[in-house]
Structure 1
Amino acid sequence: MTSRSPALKPPIPPRAPASPAPIIPPPPVAAGPPDLAFPLPPWSPQVPGPPPPPLPPPPPATGAAPPHVFGLEKSQLLKKALEKAGPVPRGREDVKRLLKLHKDRFRSDLQWILFCADLPSLIQEGPQCGLVALWMAGTLLLPPSGIPLERLVQVAMERGYTAQGEMFSVADMGRLAQEVLGCQATLLCGGLGGPNRDLVLQHLVTGHPLLIPYDEDFNHEPCQRKGHKAHWAVSAGVLLGVPAVPSLGYAEDPELPGLFHPVLSKPCQSPPLPEEGSLGAVYLLSKQGKSWHYKLWDYNQVRDSNLQLTDFSPLRATDGRAYVVPAGGVRAGLCGQALLLRPWDSSH
């Protein structure tokens, strides 16, 4: 059987109402944990308080305080999201294509185990990358079709989480996931390394999605631009490089020797998780809203990109559009954070 990850924390509590004044992200400050309005998960170095209360009922249609936004006076309603039909590459086949195409990127001294869940493809329209990633994750939480993207956009705008589809707060993304998808959402703080690394890998091995903010390079891969290219992806699997594959519950791929898949109909021995210092041994199987295909990203590359999201893009700040950014800016909303999602009835 696969390793069971620790029980996830109860629902993320509601965000405090925002004041009507526009908020401009402050300049970078000394490194430190973000100032959050709710306790960190139990695996954080900080000691958590008692479980937070459940989400409150939706706010009334009138009388709610306006959100913190850039260019509120120029705000436009988000166009109706367009879900474009297109090819949906299966995760296993996409990974095999990448392994064949980039043989030199993967260590030949290791055997590889692929855990993956199939996600649909959806190309984003405008700055919707976070909501598109959440929509894709929702198809694993509420199969087979999930929740319409239009519903996610509508609720996010009604709650003041977004002005036109952008999401600059992992905590707000968690609240939205809990309310609309009815799932468990655990905010991961302190980065993807250290003790959080095994938690993330165990979560993916059990088949649950992970939402990650990162800086997007020209080829959609993670890079380091101080948050100026902030983007979202959903990971729905992991490729592990191990010295030897456990004998119970795995089958070697008939086309690619050295690649193994768990046999779903049989008991499966827990795979050994590569140590954090093992370079090139862990790859996240990810999708984001600008490509039909899966990506295989080196775990350390994603970790480093996620940990340096500190600044709001100057281009966005002056483009005349509205953006909802939390108090404390991009550093408080995205830096070193990710979101673990799973169904409430999950036993893992």
Structure 2
Amino acid sequence: MISPCTPQKPPILPPGAPAPQAPTIPPPPSLLPPDTSDPAVPPPPSVLEVTIPPPPLPPPPLTMGVAPPHVFGLEKSRLLKEALEKTGPLPGSKEDVKRLLKLHKDRFRNDLQWTLFCADLPSLIQEGPQCGLVALWMAGALLVPPSGVPLERLVQVARERGFTAQGEMFSVADMGKLAQEVLGCSAELLRGGLGPPNRDRVLQHLLAGHPLLIPYDEDFNHEPCQRQGHKAHWAVSAGVLLGVPRVPDLGYTEDPDLPGLFLPTPGTDPPLPPLPEDEGPGLVYLLAKQGKSWHYHLWDYEHVRDSNQQLTDFSPARAADGRMYVVPAGGVRAGLCGQALLLTP
């Protein structure tokens, strides 16, 4: 008996006998070379015809240099813009303002006619204490059309000049210097508040279509309030709604949806309506935007005036948050109280 694990010796063959051959196993049909005699079958590709993929590209070299400054709120703003693009476009200034007028039509006196002047302003949502720089960026769309100046540029120059640390702006004078340098515009520092004798100067500026930057105290709903500067904020106004006894007959068209509202007729250069002579609430409204909302706001001029006039103290909450802020000599009172900025191209 032979063990299966015992190697067997090859058999002894007689002289002249051929050596046994290993059995030949035919290859599967898929591995057989094609029959080149058949014209329907293409010949096999040669070695030179085989496409060799190129080697992967080396990674780009590291660039040395100063990284651009981080802009608070820019990423958030882009995400919000993408969300808005999915839901629909932002309303234009006229549509947004008419929405406000319909919403607050009970504010307007029936014995007056109302005329609206408003320029288109873009929107940008801030993050952090950037309200002043965002308001200046919005104004830049009117001062440096068509695309304005990037917000990154405003932030960078403001830091380089020592005007800001976190993006805050507590000086109207510094804001004017920044506007002149970066936007190349004219900046008039208005002192003495928004009331007389500056009231008519401000209204004429807005009727001409130029932006106005205003510091004020912001309430929970973005409306002007009076908190002694503890809620100091910035807004840009580029429109005004006036209540007058009579709108000029030529150059104005009554709005079909809001009787009593007269808009400048497109393609005309209408005469400016007379400014309201009486001082008091309910006669002049500012159309404004600020960095915490996409939409226009409609504010009584007197309320904005009063809020701007009482900016006196630095916020205790900010003083205790451990961050550094740039505040001018004399504090908030010297930098913001009773001041505004008139910007013209």
Structure 2 length as normaliser, TM-score? 0.75
Report whether the alignment pairs 1:277 with 2:296. no
CA shift at 1:267, angstroms? 3.0
- Computing the radius of gyration from Cα coordinates, the structure with the larger value is 2
Amino acid at match of 1:118: D
1:81-110 alpha-carbon deviations (Å, 9 max, x no partner): 514325533221112111111221121221
In structure 2, the CA distance between the partners of 1:177 and 1:110, relative to structure 1 (3 Å rule), is same
- 1:324, 1:261 → 2: CA distance? 43
Residue 49 of structure 2: aligned partner: none
Measure how far apart 1:264 and its partner are: 3.9
Kept after mapping to 2: 8 A contact 1:235/1:285: yes
Distance 1:80 1:97, change over 3 A: closer
- 1:208-245: CA deviation from partner (whole Å, max 9, x where unpaired): 00000000000000000000000000001000011111
In the alignment, which of 89, 92, 115 is matched to residue 90 of structure 1? 92
Could you tell me which residue of structure 1 aligns to residue 261 of structure 2? 259
Q: How many residues align?
A: 267
> What amino acid is aligned across from residue 170 of structure 1 in structure 2?
V
CA RMSD of aligned residues (A): 1.3
Q: Which amino acid aligns with 1:139?
A: A
Which secondary structure does the structure 2 equivalent of 1:296 belong to? strand
TM-score, normalised by the number of residues in structure 1 = 0.75
User: Structure with the greater relative contact order (CA < 8 A, sep ≥ 6): 1 or 2?
Assistant: 1
CA distance in 2, matches of 1:296, 1:332: 28
Which residue of 235, 248, 251 corresponds with 2:250?
248
Matched, 1:219 2:221: yes
Other-structure match for 1:197: 199
Report what 1:322 is aligned to: 324
* Distance (Å, rounded) in 1 between the aligned partners of 2:212 and 2:123: 16
Q: Percent identity?
A: 79
Amino acid at match of 1:275: E
Matches of 2:272 and 2:236, distance apart in 1 = 23
Q: 2:185 maps to which residue?
A: 183
Residue among 308, 311, 331 paired with 1:309: 311
Unaligned runs of 5+ in 2: 1-68
- Structure 2: distance between partners of 1:194 and 1:256: 31
Residue among 121, 126, 129 paired with 1:127: 129
Counterpart residue type for residue 273 of structure 1: L
Pairwise mapping of residues 87-166 of structure 1 onto structure 2 (< 5 A)? 87-166=89-168
| Aligned equivalents of 2:296, 2:329: Cα separation in 1 | 33
Q: Please identify runs of 4+ aligned residues in structure 1 that moved more than 2 A.
A: 77-81, 83-89
1 or 2, which has the higher helix percentage?
2
Q: Is residue 292 of structure 1 aligned with residue 285 of structure 2?
A: no
Deviations 1:27-85 (A, max 9, x none): xxxxxxxxxxxxxxxxxxxxxxxxxxxxxxxxxxxxxxxxxxxxxxxxxx754551432
Gapped regions of structure 1 (runs ≥ 5)? 1-76, 344-348
